[in-house]
Amino acid sequence: MGRIFEVRKATMFARWDRMAKQFTRIGKEIIIAVKAGGPDPATNPALRRCFQNARSVGMPKDRVEAAIKRAQGKDTSNYEEILYEGYAPHGVALLVETATDNHVRTVANVKSHFNKGGGAMGTSGSVSFQFKKMGVFKLKPEGLNIDDLELELIDHGLDELGESNDDNGNPIIVLRCAFTDFGNLQKALEDKGLNPLSSELEWIPSNTVPVTDEQAEEVSKLIERLEQDDDVNKVFHNMG
């Protein structure tokens, strides 16, 4: 147990539309979750995860309820989750998660962002082998004994546990598990009465590419360009 390494999404740069973007992303995730597993969070772990993340970003309850109603409507768009891969300048690998109702539009836009940002879009599998898809849970440390928590959760799929800070510098505990153990660890936390600040599926790089501050700024401009696209949910990188 110690400080856990997190590759952040260019947190040194401003995100003027971050909150609105988060609401849109979570709204799409709610629609996908409801269509796949129904509107009852008691029987739909994916929807419970969406609710946790909605709370973590302060998404209004009426927007959450509206997304559930849209998912149950006949005219709701059917979003498809597609992962795009490529390289930013200076050999930095990027994974771009999207949720789209028009994949032709999305692939054209993502390719354009890569080209204009000095990168190159790759084929499926050309980048993802450098990452591991993992469940990532973030908790407030107050009232928790980290060593005891680690021992209690190992049998439920916990792979890594450590201390870190959120984007505002507040201390947090980060738990990681294999993608296949996400549901087990989620249930174990629920059984212990622990409500994560967020629970996500993330692509964690196996190794990082060292870059200078100037190079990092160049890469981050491409990441920001991608993140501003309406169809893009998240962008992951291996920039060190």
Domains and CATH numbers, the chain: 18-72 (1.10.10.200), 80-129+208-237 (3.30.70.980), 130-205 (3.30.70.980)
93-100 and 232-237 beta bridge pairing: antiparallel
> pLDDT tens-digit profile of 56-110?
888 999 999 999 999 988 767 788 999 999 999 999 999 999 999 999 999 999 9
H or E segment to which residue 77 belongs: none
Please tell me the pTM assigned to this model. 0.84
Looking at the DSSP assignment, which residues form a beta bridge with residue 237? 94
Q: What is the DSSP letter of 98?
A: E
User: Which residues of the chain register pLDDT less than 70?
Assistant: 1-18, 75
Dig out the tokens for 219 from the structure: 């890469």
Do the bridges between strand 2-3 and strand 158-165 make them parallel or antiparallel, or are there none, so unpaired? Answer: parallel
Is residue 27 packed enough to be buried (19+ CB in 10 Å), middle (13-18) or exposed (0-12)? Answer: buried
Report how far residue 227's alpha carbon sits from residue 221's, in angstroms, rounded to the nearest whole number.
10
Query: How many helical (H) and strand (E) elements, i.e. helices and strands, does the chain have?
Result: 7, 9
